[in-house]
Structure formats: C-alpha cells, structure tokens
Amino acid sequence: METKPSNGSPAKFVDQLVVPGDVILDLSTMAEQTIKLGGGLRQDCDAISVIKAGILRFSKPNKYWVESSQKRYVPCAEDSVLGIVVDCKPDNFLVDIKGPSVAFLPVLAFEGGTRRNIPRFEAGTLIYVRVVKANTGMNPELSCVDVLETLGKKLPFEIAVGLNGRVWVNAGSPSIVIVVGNAIMKSESLTKVQQKIMAEKLLQRVQQE
C-alpha cells in the first residue's frame, strides 16, 4: 500500500496518479535548482505535496503540475475565457466567469481605449476576454487586448476559437496560416507586451520573404 522510495527521485511519480497528501518532491536534495509548480501542487517547507488528485506531469526543463479535470473553473493568469457582464461601475465592468468570485474588467482595457470611447455593455452581454491577474483572495482582473489584433493589422486571416481547445485558422496562403498558428502557440506563456513584440518580429520575417 505504501511505497517509500529511498531517494527523492520525482521521476517515479511522473505520469502516475497522485492523490492529495502525496509528497512528490523533496527539495532538500535539490539545492541549486529552480522548479516551477503548476496547478495542483503546493510547497510545504522542503516538500512539494499534492493537493488535487490527478496525473502528475512534467515538462522540461523544470515544470511540474497535476493534470485533472474539473467542472468548476479556477481563474489563472493568461487564460482566455467567455464572460457575461453582470454590472457596470465607473471604473470596471463586473463580469461573471464561472469562478469563485466575480471578475473586474477595467473600462480602459480595450484596444485604443480612452475615457472618451468607453464601450457600453449591458448586463447580459457575452464577451471574450483574457484573465490578466488571478490572485487568491482578490477578484480576478480581465482585459480585452490580445495578440491577434497585432497580426490582423498586417496579415489577412480568418480565425475561430473554440472553448474545447481547438482553433481554426484560414488564410489566402499556407505561409500565413503557419505564421498565425505559430504566433498563437508561442504566445501561450508570454505577457501582453512580450506578445506584441513577438508578433511584430514574426511579421517582419514574413514581409522579408
């Protein structure tokens, strides 16, 4: 029932089912390394323990997370979600993103947004936004700016994004489809500013050809 491996090797647990309470990593044996923890894991002094049941995954060079499926959404930064506007305040829209608390969408967080052209959303409007900040204890913050706009200024393409994780891209030539696809895949872990820079670099390379 209980197996306690003699060394702190995490490889034994990767791709295995882990349940809350399992300790998957002993940090005292890895003094000089940085580890990134994703969802489902928590640091307890020198031990990394599991808080959600699922399969432990590892991606090089140093990221661990627990893969599990849930019905309730937990807001994380850099997630794209569909939200329904619940209320309007002077500085924020209150948006329901089906998480533990209502999220704020600042009135100026739109492409070319200024105090003069604030969009008017009524309660019940469906919007597609990105989560900017999602700290525990605070309401998540959203934004409507994204990288597709930067690409769209120079390249003509059609895109449909589904909540089941599939994205459909269509354009005149295959090279544009590939550029858009690469831009989307690369922007997964970048911040807003980094995404813009990355998109612009890709565009420059395309126009050089």
Binding test (CB under 8 A) with another protein, winner from 34, 70, 114, 164: 70
Token representation of residue 32: 């000089």
Instruction: Write out the two tokens for 108.
Output: 């100026």
* 19-58: contacts with another protein (CB under 8 A): 19-26, 42, 47, 49, 51-55
In the bound complex, what is the minimum distance in angstroms from residue 35's beta carbon to another protein? 13
Q: Strand 47-50 and strand 63-67: pairing? A: unpaired
The residue range among 96-104, 109-117, 167-175, 194-202 that interacts with another protein, by the rule CB under 8 A, is 96-104
Interface with another protein includes 85 (CB under 8 A)?
A: no
Give me the phi and psi of 203, to 5 degrees please: -65, -40
Q: Which of 61, 137, 165, 174 binds another protein (CB under 8 A)?
A: 137
Closest among 190, 201, 96 to 142, alpha carbons compared: 96
- In the complex, least distance from residue 102 CB atom to another protein, rounded to whole angstroms: 7
CA 83 vs. chain centroid, Å, equals: 15
Q: Which is nearer to another protein, 68 or 182 (CB)?
A: 68
Phi, psi dihedrals of residue 152, rounded to the nearest 5°: -65, -20
207 near another protein, judged by CB under 8 A? no
Distance CA 86, CA 77 (A): 21
CB of 168 to another protein, least distance (A): 25
Taking CB under 8 A as the rule, does residue 182 contact another protein? no
Q: Which residue, 44 or 149, has its beta carbon nearer to another protein?
A: 44
Structure tokens at 80: 């794209």
Looking at the Cβ atoms of 53 and 144, the one nearer to another protein is: 53
Contact status, residue 145 vs residue 105, Cβ threshold 8 Å: no
